[in-house]
Chains A and B, each alone.
Chain A
Amino acid sequence: MSRVAIVGVGHTVYSDPGSLKEPYWKLDFEAASAALDDAGMTKGDIDAVITASYDLYDGIVISAQFSAGAACSWWKDGTNLAEDGAFAIPSAYMKIRSGMYDTVMVVSHGTIHSHDVIMKSSNIACDPFFFRPIASNNLVLNALQASRYKDIYGISEEYAARISVMEHGNAMKNPHAHIKTEVSIAEVLNSPVLCWPIRALEYCPASSGASAIILATEELASWRATSKKIAYVKGIGWASETYQIGNNGSLDKIASTVKAANMAYEMAGIKNPTEEIDVAEIAGVTPYQELMLLEALGFCDFGKAISLVEEGVTAIDGKLPVNPSGGLICTNPVGGAGLFSVAEAAMQVMGMAEGHQIEAANVALAHGMSNVCGPAARASCVVIMESEK
């Protein structure tokens, strides 16, 4: 059966929500247009469209109404996921593998325009009986998770700060990154506490922008102009856990990511991820969450992520660079974050990354997750892609 290829990738500029000059549907249009240009395709070449967005963050009920046309779905199968953008990839993959379509466009964005919107909306994303009245929101829930992981494995504040410094350094090299400021460990440690143990320079921003990816059959991909490398989807996995963050163990390990990664590794025939993967883009919104994800993805044993970072394995010049894009700590289009990561990973194997291009990046892993009720990482998605050798 035909493999599925990523033939086009497009990002808009990612910027501060406050400085937004265009509505989200125009950002979707720009990202979709960039992906079409990259693939050497036009609107007529796209068979189906999947968008991913969250209504409340966009401030519009059924916010996808506006995204669909902006992602070229006129007279086509246009579906929307009220989920992180990464989850559109398995759906697009299955649409092609089913034989129903030859090409699928996937578009996702983030456009939360203020601090109040993200904090209040993520409070309303919580259940109205037990979580909402206790002032929970994305940040509070991420802080609970961080305190637990920090305590169990004795993660010092300096170690957490080091992750943030690394991410900020990587983002400086990425023209698409939102936050481009070099920071030092001392600056991170002196930045104000938002919710203990998370400090301002350790927490993801809300970024405005959109990303788009075009998937196609192998036949179509090889027929396309061959000046650029093609990324083939080698493995894919996704899994849901419970909404209830108080359930046993759900704060200690990101179980849905473990499950999703194992599914993707099995499909890709990957036995030793640290050896076989060349670069990874993962969805940690805090340094603590990023460390937990390194463990959940099987890059090291549980509780050993700090050693992995200390040995330089995950640095941009390490054996397995993690988040050369600067990750979600520097660019976090809420709702579109996972698709940003998939696009960045695809750009690495297609040789399209710029200052942050990893040399000889043939196999890339992208990870996205759905984050409310936050820390439990209710659902995770892992995509492994490989460039044609």
Chain B
Amino acid sequence: MEKDIIEVPYTWEIPFKYTAGEVLTKFFYELKEKRIMGIRCPKCKRVLLPPRGFCEMCFEPLEEWVEVSDEGVIGAFQICCMKFLGAPEPPWASGLIRLDGADTAILHFIGGIDLSDIEKGKEAIKIGTRVKAVWSDAPKGLITDIRYFTPV
């Protein structure tokens, strides 16, 4: 008789810490004050968001901070309709958003719209839609201090 193959279950629960470093620490302190800061590369002149300590393309260290708007344009989006471990209850949406004054896009949730009908939802947040940050009332210095972006 064929026996069932034995399986041993295991769950990883290991506390980690990630060092933000000087650049991201400044970014998140500013975010707490509802200011979104990008960083400009002296060589390619792009304002990078998320900010970083160096430009990978030009291989230059970065230090020129530039405040960008909390409004911008959706460059790509998705509407998630399935349940993932650790993700919000579906349906939920996220997108790549290029904020006014930045040359690169950030990933964030898109909210404040009815997603129960995908056809309507995808029209409401289609590429090119202008969106604005909706801020948390209790900012913690995390990217989720912006709760989501919503169509203007």
B73 at the interface (CB under 8 A from A): no
Given known pairs A129-B20, A151-B126, A246-B107, the reply for A143 and B78 (CB within 8 Å) is yes
With both chains docked as a complex, state the minimum distance between the C-beta of B144 and any C-beta of chain A, in angstroms. 5
Please state if A21 and B94 are interface contacts (CB–CB under 8 Å): no
* Given A135-B94, A140-B94, A147-B76, A244 contacting B84 (CB threshold 8 A): no
User: Is B152 located at the chain interface by the 8 A CB criterion?
Assistant: no
Contacts of A59 in B (CB 8 A): 10, 12
Residue in contact with B87 in the complex, picked from A135, A144, A145, A245, CB distance below 8 Å: A135
Q: What distance in Å separates the Cβ of A220 from its nearest Cβ neighbour in chain B?
A: 39
Interface residues on A, range: 35 or more
B-facing residues in A131-159 (Cβ within 8 Å): 131, 133-137, 140, 143-148, 151
Residues in A194-247 with C-beta less than 8 Å from chain B: 194-198, 242, 244-247
Chain B 83-96 against A: per-residue CB contact (8 Å), 1 yes, 0 no? 01111100010111
- Select from chain B the residue with minimum beta-carbon distance to A117: B85
Question: Which of A21, A133, A251 lies in contact with B142, CB distance below 8 A?
Answer: A133
- Chain A residues whose CB sits within 8 angstroms of the CB of B98 once the complex forms: 246
Query: Interface range on chain B: under 10, 10 to 19, 20 to 34, or 35 or more?
Result: 35 or more
Q: Are B82 and A195 in contact (CB under 8 A)?
A: yes
Asked if B106 lies at the interface with its beta carbon under 8 angstroms from chain A, I say yes
Instruction: State whether the Cβ of A44 lies closer than 8 Å to any Cβ in chain B.
Output: no
* Per-residue interface assignment for chain B, residues 45 to 82, with 1 indicating a CB less than 8 Å from any chain A CB and 0 otherwise: 01001100000110000000000000000011111111
Contact status of A144 and B78, CB under 8 A, knowing A129-B24, A135-B88, A248-B104? yes
Q: In the complex, A123→B82 CA distance in Å?
A: 15
Question: Of all chain B residues, which has the CB nearest A246?
Answer: B105
- B46 CB to closest chain A CB (Å) equals 7
Determine the chain A residues whose CB is within 8 A of the CB of B134 once the complex forms. Answer: none
User: How many angstroms from the CA of A59 to the CA of B109 in the assembled complex?
Assistant: 29
Q: Does A119 contact B (CB under 8 A)?
A: yes
Give the shortest distance, in Å, between A289 (CB) and chain B (any CB): 13
List chain B residues, Cβ under 8 A from A133.
142-144
Q: Is the CB of A129 within 8 A of B81?
A: no
A195 in contact with B81 (CB, 8 Å): yes
Is A148 touching B127 in the complex (CB atoms < 8 A)? Answer: yes
C-alpha gap A59/B5 in the complex (Å): 18
Cβ-defined contact, B143 with A246, below 8 A: no
Given A116-B85, A135-B86, A140-B78, verify A248-B109 contact (CB < 8 Å): no
B34 part of interface (Cβ distance < 8 Å): no
Of B12, B24, B86, B122, the residue contacting A196 (CB under 8 A) is B122
The distance in angstroms between the C-alpha atoms of A245 and B108, with both chains bound, is: 12
- Of the candidates B81, B98, B127, the one having the most CB atoms from chain A within 10 angstroms of its own CB is B81
For B50, the chain A residues whose CB sits under 8 A away are 129-130, 244, 246
Q: Which residue of B lies closest to A144 (CB)?
A: B76
CA of A68 to CA of B82 in the docked complex: distance in angstroms? Answer: 37
Those of B16-53 within 8 Å (CB) of chain A:
18, 20, 24, 28, 46, 49-50
Is the CB of A192 closer than 8 A to any CB of chain B? Answer: yes
Give, as a whole number of angstroms, the nearest-CB distance from A12 to chain B. 16
- Nearest CB of chain B from residue A202's CB, rounded to whole Å: 13
- Tell me which residues across on chain A come within 8 A of B76, comparing CB atoms: 144-145, 147-148, 251
* A97 at the B interface (CB under 8 A): no
Shortest Cβ distance from residue A272 to the other chain B in the assembled complex, whole angstroms: 31
B100 interfacial by beta-carbon distance below 8 Å = no
A239 to chain B, nearest CB (A): 13
- Please name 17 pairs of A and B residues whose Cβ atoms are closer than 8 Å in the assembled complex, sorted by A: A119-B87, A130-B107, A134-B107, A134-B108, A134-B109, A134-B143, A135-B80, A135-B94, A144-B107, A145-B76, A148-B75, A192-B82, A194-B80, A194-B82, A196-B118, A244-B56, A248-B46
Nearest 3 pairs of A and B residues by beta carbon: A246-B105, A143-B78, A196-B79
Besides A147-B76, A246-B96, 13 other A-B contacts (C-beta < 8 A): A59-B12, A129-B50, A130-B107, A135-B94, A136-B94, A137-B87, A143-B78, A144-B96, A145-B76, A148-B96, A192-B81, A245-B96, A248-B103
